[in-house]
Amino acid sequence: MLANVLPERAPTLFLVDKDTPGVRVLRTPRYMHTFVYEHPEFAFEDVALPADAVLGELGQGYELTRDWFVEERLMIAARAIGAAERALRAAVEWAGERQQSGRLLEHQLIQGMVADSVVDIATNRALVHQVAWEADQGLERKMLHAKAAVVKLAASEAGGRVVDRALQMFGGRGYMRENPCERLYRDLRVDRIWEGTSEIQRLIVGNEVAKRGLDGVLSFGTGAAVAAAAA
């Protein structure tokens, strides 16, 4: 839980067990995606917490949240590209067997959709690997925050494009609940919204360029090399 601690209204993170007195679930909304975990809405009424429930330090809530977003956005990007590949493989297998004035996969408009999808997957997978590697190398966290925004924006948008094409290649069959593309179509849509919308990612990248220039965001290398380029 993120709360403002008085009197300074310092944003602070707390670990709160849902069985703590005063905590209750208001409702558990239903979403279009089918993830196994839920996102209930909680109410807190006179909830008493011990000092060791504070996560980090008082006033460090936004900083910790921003730091956590780096790994979360990389994870979303990896998941989006993995789902895109799953959808494309299913669609290509189907198009390779489907007979409609010859094999569907031999039609140029279908081949164009496949080619665009391959490019979306290959380029974004390489970008995810690059920034994940830079994170392991100790890239300066503010720069990594900007690069994670680049990855999340690019991969979530690309994943949506690929799954949309894959569903289209299946035709009406792609719209059936028994088809994997139908579920992926629903599941991936949220990746352009949570952990920062695509619009927020654009603001993060644009602000980083305005503050420190293009070198850091566009460079590739170890943490020390990238930090030096951005200095």
How do residues 181-204 score in pLDDT, each as one tens digit? 999 999 999 999 989 999 999 999
Angle at 144 (CA atoms; ends 139, 147), nearest 5 degrees: 130
Question: Rounded to an integer, what distance in angstroms lies between the CA atom of residue 179 and that of residue 181?
Answer: 5
| Domains assigned to the chain | 2-55 (no CATH), 62-225 (1.20.140.10)
Q: Residue 96 is encoded by which pair of tokens?
A: 């390779």
pLDDT in tens, 59-74: 999 888 888 889 999 9
pTM: 0.85
Q: Which helix (H) or strand (E) holds 10?
A: strand 10-14
Question: Rounded to an integer, what distance in angstroms lies between the CA atom of residue 198 and that of residue 70?
Answer: 15
pLDDT in tens, 119-139: 999 999 999 999 999 999 988
Task: Specify the pLDDT at position 114.
Answer: 98
| Positions marked active-site | 195
| Number of other CB atoms surrounding residue 159 within 10 Å | 29
Task: Specify the pLDDT at position 37.
Answer: 73
